[in-house]
Each structure stands twice: as structure tokens, then as C-alpha cells.
Amino acid sequence: MSEIRPPRRLAVIGGGPAGLMAAEAARAGGAEVHLFEAKGSVGRKFLIAGKGGLNLTHGEARPDFDMRYRERAGEIGRWLDAFDADALRGWARGLGVETYVGSSGRVFPLDRKAAPLLRAWVRRLKESGVQIHVQHRWQGWDEAGALRFDTPSGATTFAADALVLALGGGSWPQLGSDGGWVALLAAQGIDIAPLAPANCGFDVGWSALLAGKFAGAPLKPVVAHWQDAVGTAHALQGECVLTETGIEGSLVYAIAADLRTTIARDGSAVLQLDLAPGRELERLQADLSKPRNGRSLGEHLRRQAGLDAAKCALVFEVLDKAALQDMATVAAAIKRLPLRLLRPRPLAETISTAGGIRLESLGDSLMLRGRPGLFCAGEMLDWEAPTGGYLLTACFASGLVAGRGAAAWLARPAG
């Protein structure tokens, strides 16, 4: 009869949702679990994400839910088979946090807060035996294969029998996910797609007048028109916001991957905005052709096209003086106002990042091929998703898959 090994030590590095879930799943699987976090407490980005209301997941049904992960829908769909949105809501209920589905389909805790859920989760992890070590910044491995950490009291090492890395992407570095792991893993020959902005704003290069007067102004509702990487036309209605340098907001985040890809290939991307959705071009032309009776063009656009000051400012920004005298041209611009996007905002400003460890490098349990006992989870993997709860759901699900995989690997029969 094969000898069954006693529980062995698993190190989980990263105290975000993926790391915490990996620790929980591995502990439930019988492993001795030590979780290491570089900051002074776990879940800092999770708390910030929930500051305006924790969007935990989304009520969209599968397989449409899976398709939010674009070219990675198949791989992430397998994670969701283990832990989908309904499972996540049930898990939260087990921590005493009930959830509801909002009008947009987004799922929130009843109190919309992240802190009570995180506190209950950390308490349960500790009660289960998970040992949490904060202010431990991972620095790779020593010559003997032990994990190296920098701590306030100096360098230290930790010998683990298996490892789950859940180090996040490269956004919000002040909260811990600074992408510093990329160089460490690349030096080990691990295949990593370069980190890139996702769920980000874009620079346009406004005039000083528009930037100074309308930064922060919402644009709602509008319809975005754009082309993907293969030239297929798309349209999506939503809301966005003018910034000092360009444009951002939920509508822009939802299509950021296509825009980023086009900019990388062509040097810029054109995003067209319908500033008057619901009004046909012919009606708009007729309304704008009515006499102005001495009113300013801005007042005319407000009365006849329903544009607010920010939308009027965009029309004035894009059209020159001659074009503004031709109401047919103005009407056409209102229905398809072209904005040339120059670049995504810097990585540190973005909500999340694309790129990371390529999923082709990982097995079904998220263990790196050729690196027995090394598992990876969360945003440090090469996938992306729009906001709306999809990001968090996949982080939770990947953590569970990696944690279960690590526990099973540690418990495998000797010999």
C-alpha cells in the first residue's frame, strides 16, 4: 500500500482575492497554509474597489458570462465550472453577507461594503489554521530553493513544499500589485506576455479650454462606435467621462482591449460617439435647420439637439468654424463624432492589467508546466475582463482552482 504523506507546507504569496481564496481552498484540502503579503494588511485593493460599492460579481447567465473574457473564454470557463457567480454569492452568504442583483445586472452586498466581508473572511481563514504573514515582500528563491522575503526586521527565508503565486497585475502599485514579479519569473524562463493597461482611459489631447472647463464632466448617454482588430464594426451604449487628457469611464473600459490593440498596431484609434442616441440623423438635421433667432450655436444645440454643455464643447472641439456653420455637417458629427485616441493611460492608473503568465504555460490545476509544485492565480495571469464583477469572479475562481490543485499535489501518494 502506498504511503500517504502527512500535510506539507504550502506558501501562498499575495493577499488579494485570488491568494486568499487559494489559501482557503488549500486549507480545506488538508494543506498547512502560510499566506504572505507585502503590505501591512491583506485585501487592500479589494477594499478600494469596494469603496463606491463592492461589485462582487454579475448576474449574467453563462455562457454569455464566459464570453466577457474574450479569447480566454474557454480557459476561464473551466475555472467558472468550479466556482461561478452563483457559487461566489453562496460563498459570501456563508460569511454572513447577503447579496442582490442591481438594475444593471451587477451583484453587490446588501450594505454595498467590502470591509465586513473581508473581515469575516480573514477571521474564518485564521480560525481554519491559515497563518498570515504581512509585511513580507517576496524576492524570489535562494540557492537551496527556499522563498526569500524582505521584512521590516530584515531578510528572511521560508521553505515550502509547494507555492501559489497570486501577485496581481501592475495597476494600483501603491496597494501592492506593482508587477515587480515579472522580472523574477522571466529570469526563471517563465513565458510572460507584457503587462498592458486594461479597463483604462485614453489620451486625446484636448485644447486647454476643454481640458480646463470640462474635465470631470459626464457624457450620458452616448453610443460608442468602433472597430475591432479585424475590422468588424461594433456599437455599445453607455456612459463615460471627460478628463484633462482624454476620456474614461465604464463605456470606454468595456471596449478598451480593442482600442488598445488598434493603437498598438496603427499608432492611434478612432472612437466615434453618438451624442444624441435615439434621434435619427434626418430628424436631427431638420431640427438643427430651424432658425436660431439670434441664439448662440451652443444654445441652439441645446434646444434642438438636446446636447448639454459638455457635449456641445466636444462638437466645438472637433469641428472647425466653417464646419460649424453647416447644420448638416454638425448633425452628422453629433451622430458620429470622431475622437482620435492617442494612447492608453499609464499602467499605474488603470483599474486592471492585461498580459501576464501565459495560460498555455499552465495545466488545468494552474500549475506551471515544467515547474512541479508552482501554481499561479489571479490577475498575474494573461487574461482580462471588463468591470462589472467579471474581474473579481475570475480572480476568486482561479484562486480556488490553484488552491485545490496545490492541496492535491501535496497530498499525492509518495513514490
Average pLDDT over residues 200-215: 97
Note the pLDDT tens digit of each residue in 162-201: 999 999 999 888 888 899 999 999 999 999 999 999 999 9
Are the CB atoms for 98 and 110 separated by under 8 Å?
yes
Q: What backbone phi and psi angles, to 5 degrees, belong to 126?
A: -65, -40
Query: What is the model's pLDDT at position 3?
Result: 42
Mean pLDDT in the chain? 95
Query: Minimal CA–CA distance to 162: which of 5, 12, 22, 38?
Result: 12
pLDDT band of residue 415 (cuts 50, 70, 90) is low
Q: Residue 389 corresponds to which cell in the numbers above? A: 464583477
Note the pLDDT tens digit of each residue in 94-108: 999 999 999 999 999
The share of the chain scoring above pLDDT 70, in percent, equals 98
Are the CB atoms for 376 and 357 separated by under 8 Å?
yes
Instruction: Indicate whether 399 pLDDT > 80.
Output: yes
Q: Residue 89 corresponds to which cell in the numbers above? A: 454569492
pLDDT band of residue 7 (cuts 50, 70, 90) is low
Average pLDDT over residues 46-57: 90
Query: What is the model's pLDDT at position 161?
Result: 97
Global pTM reads: 0.92
Query: What is the model's pLDDT at position 157?
Result: 97
Average pLDDT over residues 117-135: 98
Q: What is the largest CA-CA distance in the chain?
A: 96
Instruction: Indicate whether 120 pLDDT > 80.
Output: yes
Instruction: Indicate whether 1 pLDDT > 60.
Output: no
**What letter represents residue 303's amino acid?**
R
Angle at 393 between CA 388 and CA 394, to 5 degrees: 115
Q: Residue 33 corresponds to which cell in the numbers above? A: 497554509
Number of residues that this document lists for the chain: 415
Note the pLDDT tens digit of each residue in 339-352: 999 999 999 999 99
Give the H or E element holding residue 91: helix 85-94
Other residues' Cβ atoms within 10 Å of the Cβ of residue 71: 11
Ordered DSSP codes for 46-76:
HHHHTTT----EE-PPTTHHHHTTGGGHHHH
Average pLDDT over residues 112-137: 97
Other residues' Cβ atoms within 10 Å of the Cβ of residue 58: 25
**What letter represents residue 87's amino acid?**
A
Query: Minimal CA–CA distance to 123: which of 13, 24, 31?
Result: 24
Q: Is the peptide bond prior to 63 cis by the omega test (within 30 degrees of 0)?
A: yes
Are the CB atoms for 265 and 257 separated by under 8 Å?
no
pLDDT band of residue 132 (cuts 50, 70, 90) is very high
Query: Minimal CA–CA distance to 19: which of 47, 40, 43, 54?
Result: 43
Note the pLDDT tens digit of each residue in 257-306: 999 999 999 999 999 999 999 899 999 999 999 998 889 999 999 999 99
Other residues' Cβ atoms within 10 Å of the Cβ of residue 83: 22
pLDDT band of residue 4 (cuts 50, 70, 90) is very low
Which domains does the chain show, CATH number per domain? 9-197+351-410 (3.50.50.60), 202-344 (no CATH)
Phi-psi sector, 13: left (phi>0), alpha (psi -120 to 50), beta: beta
Query: What is the model's pLDDT at position 177?
Result: 85
